[in-house]
Each structure stands twice: as structure tokens, then as C-alpha cells.
Amino acid sequence: METKELADILQRERKLSPDGYKRLVTARDAQLLDHINALARETAQANYGNAVFVRGLVEVSNYCRNNCYYCGIRRGNCNVERYRLSKEEILESCRLGDKLGFRTFVLQGGEDAAMNEDVVAGIVEAIRAEFPDSAITLSLGEYSRGAYQKFFDAGANRYLLRHETANREHYGKLHPASMSFDHRMESLRALKDIGYQTGTGIMVGSPRQTADNIVEDILFMEGFQPEMIGIGPYLPQHDTPFAGEQAGSLEDTLMLISIFRLMFPKALIPSTTSLATVAPEGRERGILAGANVVMPNLSPPENRAKYALYDNKKAFGAEAAEGLRGLEEQMERIGYRVSYSRGDFGNEKWKMEN
Ligand code: SAH
């Protein structure tokens, strides 16, 4: 069977055999990529029209207790200037976002011991009180199930926690032994169980990742049924043990975005900052491959450079909240329109609002 036919089957049946997935992720064929991107666009449009949802990203802290080999804000990097936003600064960022029209705030950060469960719950509560109609998304790494429950009760709705890799051995090559594959997976199950709209995902082309690993990621997602899927190319950061490793590719990322779109027609899939960083038109290409979310940066500008997960991270222009007009134009040029509605998974309310 031709790989193009495999893409057609995936669109129809939302599922392939492991070997079918492997053929798609290893094909590296420009015509196939065009074809599957078009199918994924069609599927996204059938569910979301030409809407691209925006979420306001607030990078709350770059302190981190972990030492992930790929990440620029790992504990062992003494060359990052550390910062932590106060509750008031976080609220200010949300106010700015609210004025710009955002109805989802995403708080992301390292695993900062000072951001203990009560501090985070207090921040969520304050945002919830001031913005009762907005969605609150957290992306703060691993906490106990009890803490996740507390955040949820305080008003958080969504949680992004990429599984990073579904292969235990590969997990051990990306993280020091002090970090636990099982705990990451348990955390994801707890989040879903509590009732969060839950996001998983991987870095495409992360060091030591094999095609079989990616197939395992796809099969994991098939079982987990995430509401959100965050994927972007791995990009090296010069002060990490993986400084000399190769970046993930634009094309491999676009292929995976399309595969996930065809598997999960209603999922919320961002066209990520790392995708915008790896290629000049990465942001647009992601949308044209079936993504339907962008996350402009609402963090105080003076802190953005410090949240340096990888080198050359885009932080200005259409990636930043100030460039919103530019982002709208960028989306219009490719036939899409920015939607400011909450865009909850499976909720069609946005159709009326737009
Ligand atoms: N501490 C939180 C947030 C981490 S940052 C957590 O653990 O979930 C969000 C994502 O950025 C990570 O999940 C990882 O997949 C991605 N990331 C980190 N370093 C990266 C790099 N060098 N290149 C590309 N993506 C990276």
C-alpha cells in the first residue's frame, strides 16, 4: 500500500496499525507531507472552521528543581538568571491579556519549590475570582494528586504535561535517574481522572529518539485520549548536556501534527513557539498541518529572555502578545482567523461567539 493511502485510511478510521504509523513517520516524502497536511486541515476545518484559538502564556518562574538534559532552565544551569513572578505580577499579566481579549491564561514554569501547592492554589483562586469566565491552564510539571485536586478546586480547568516520551528507556536518556517515568505517567492519569482537560506531547527529534519511540508515543496517546497535544521540535540550548545535539526537523513535526489531527479531530493542538523558532514560517506551517491554537507570550517582557528552554526562542513579533495584530494578519494571509473564545474541548459554543 502506498503511504498516501495510509493517510487516507487514518483520516477515515482515525487509527492505523503500528506499522502504518511507522511508515508515515519514516517516509520523509514531500508529496506525502503535502497530502497528509491537506487531509489534516480538512479535518480541523470540519470541526473548528477556520478558527485559530489564542491562549495567553505567562511564564511564571524559571526556577526548577529538575535537571532534564534538554532543558535550558534545568537546575544545573548556573548561567540563567532566575526569576519568579509574584501573584500580583501574574495577575497583572492576566489583566493585560484580558484587555487584549484573551479568555484562556496558561501559567507555565519550572518545578519551583517556592510555588508549593498552597501558593499555586492561591494564584489560581485569585485569577478565577477576577476572571470568572476565562479558562485557566496550568503547565507547572509534577505535583501530587492531592495538589492537582486543590488547583482544580481553586478553579483550574486544563493542565499541560507533556509525557516527553512513552518509552521508559528513552525517558532515562532524557532525564537524570532522580526523575521517574512512572510518576510522570501517574501524574497524567491523575489529571485526567480529576477532570482536567489534559494535554500530553513530545519533543520531535529529541536526542536518542527512534522512529519506534514515536510509534510508542502515538500508541500511548491512542490509549490516553488527550484533549490537548503539545508537540514541537527539540531545539538545543547551549548550556545543557545536549548542547551539541541536532535540532528536530520542521517536516517531522508537521507530519506528526497531521497524524495527531487525523487521530483526534477535535483536539486542541498548538502551533508551538519551538516550531515558530525552527523555521521562518513555522507558525503558519503548523496551522496548515492541522494545528488550531497559538499561545502568544503575556509575560513581562524583561523576563522573557530568561525563560530560555532552548536557544533563539522567539519572543517578539507575532509570538508575543504585543504582536497580536501581526498574528491576526499572519493567520488571515493563510485563510484563518484568530478566535478569542475559550475554545474548550468538545464545546461548540465558540461557533456562536464567532
Ligand atoms: N516544568 C513544566 C513545563 C516545562 S516547559 C513541565 O515539566 O511540564 C514545557 C515543555 O517545553 C516541556 O514539556 C518540553 O517538552 C519543552 N522543552 C523543554 N526544553 C526544550 C528544548 N530544548 N527544545 C524544545 N522543547 C523543549
Contacts of 212 (CB under 8 A, 6+ apart): 22, 167
* Pocket flag, ligand 1, residue 274 (CB < 6 Å): yes
Question: How many H-runs (helices) and E-runs (strands) does the chain carry?
Answer: 15, 11
| pLDDT, position 354 | 56
Pairing relationship of beta strands 135-139 and 232-233 according to DSSP bridges? unpaired
* Pocket flag, ligand 1, residue 235 (CB < 6 Å): yes
| pLDDT, position 322 | 75
* Pocket flag, ligand 1, residue 162 (CB < 6 Å): yes
Q: How far is CA 16 from the centre of its chain?
A: 24
**Of the candidates 320, 200, 270, the residue with the CA atom closest to the CA atom of residue 44:** 270
* Pocket flag, ligand 1, residue 187 (CB < 6 Å): no
**Contact status, residue 293 vs residue 271, Cβ threshold 8 Å:** yes
Q: What is the pLDDT along the chain (354 residues), one digit of tens a residue?
A: 899 999 999 999 999 999 999 999 999 999 999 999 999 999 999 999 999 999 999 999 999 999 999 999 999 999 999 999 999 999 999 999 999 999 999 999 999 999 999 999 999 999 999 999 999 999 999 999 999 999 999 999 999 999 999 999 999 999 999 999 999 999 999 999 999 999 999 999 999 999 999 999 999 999 999 999 999 999 999 999 999 999 999 999 999 999 999 999 999 999 999 999 999 999 999 999 999 999 999 999 899 999 999 999 987 666 677 789 999 999 999 999 999 999 998 876 656 555
User: Nearest-5° angle of CA 43, CA 331, CA 94?
Assistant: 100
Distance 147 CA to ligand 1 centre (A): 21
Distance 1 CA to ligand 1 centre (A): 37
Enter the C-alpha cell of residue 265: 479531530
Distance in angstroms (rounded) separating the CA atoms of residues 334 and 328: 10
| pLDDT, position 297 | 94
Distance in angstroms (rounded) separating the CA atoms of residues 333 and 124: 36
pTM of the model: 0.97
* Pocket flag, ligand 1, residue 110 (CB < 6 Å): yes
Distance 289 CA to ligand 1 centre (A): 22
Contacts of 295 (CB under 8 A, 6+ apart): 54, 55, 56, 57, 106, 270, 272, 273
Ligand 1 atom, smallest distance to 242 CA: 22
Distance 348 CA to ligand 1 centre (A): 30
* Pocket flag, ligand 1, residue 248 (CB < 6 Å): no
Best mutation site among 84, 142, 309 for ligand 1, i.e. most ligand atoms within 8 A of its Cβ?
Answer: 309
| pLDDT, position 347 | 76
Distance in angstroms (rounded) separating the CA atoms of residues 113 and 232: 27
Cell 485526567 belongs to residue: 192
Supply the DSSP symbol for 94: H
Q: Please, which residues bridge with residue 228 across strands?
A: 199, 268
